[in-house]
């Protein structure tokens, strides 16, 4: 098992986000389609947005660099480097208030087998 260096991920993804037309870049560090738990580093250029989207289950955002705003149902929360934010289960959006990167940890809701 090789460790992932988050500082290196943030730098590389920040560089990619600066060049991307949508102002974002991401890399899944852990998990996948069949995993319950996923961890993804997402970098966003200032002004970039992740438009309204649903959470697949419980999720947190650990801000690794910069400042972000999460908005949901008329409420908004700001988070800066070092802040851990629990993401709302309802539809929400994320906006980079300055160049930013965060670690998104999500636990997908599993469907119970019937039988």
Q: What is the pLDDT of residues 68-93, one digit of tens each?
A: 999 998 899 999 999 999 988 888 99
- DSSP E strands in the chain: the ranges are 24-30, 37-44, 49-53, 57-65, 67-72, 75-80, 84-86, 92-96, 100-108
Distance CA(80)–CA(22), nearest Å, equals 21
Q: What is the mean pLDDT of the chain?
A: 90
Read off the pTM: 0.89
């Amino acid at each position: 098992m090789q460790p992932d260096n988050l500082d290196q991920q943030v730098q590389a993804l920040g560089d990619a986000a600066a060049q991307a037309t949508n102002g974002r870049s991401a890399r899944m560090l852990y998990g996948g389609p069949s995993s319950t738990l996923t961890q993804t580093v997402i970098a966003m250029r200032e002004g970039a947005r992740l438009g309204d989207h649903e959470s697949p289950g419980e999720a947190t955002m650990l801000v690794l660099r910069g400042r972000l705003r999460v908005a949901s149902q008329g409420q908004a929360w700001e988070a800066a480097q070092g802040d851990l934010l629990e993401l709302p289960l309802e539809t929400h959006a994320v906006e980079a208030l300055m160049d930013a990167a965060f670690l998104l940890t999500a636990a997908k809701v599993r469907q119970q087998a019937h039988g």
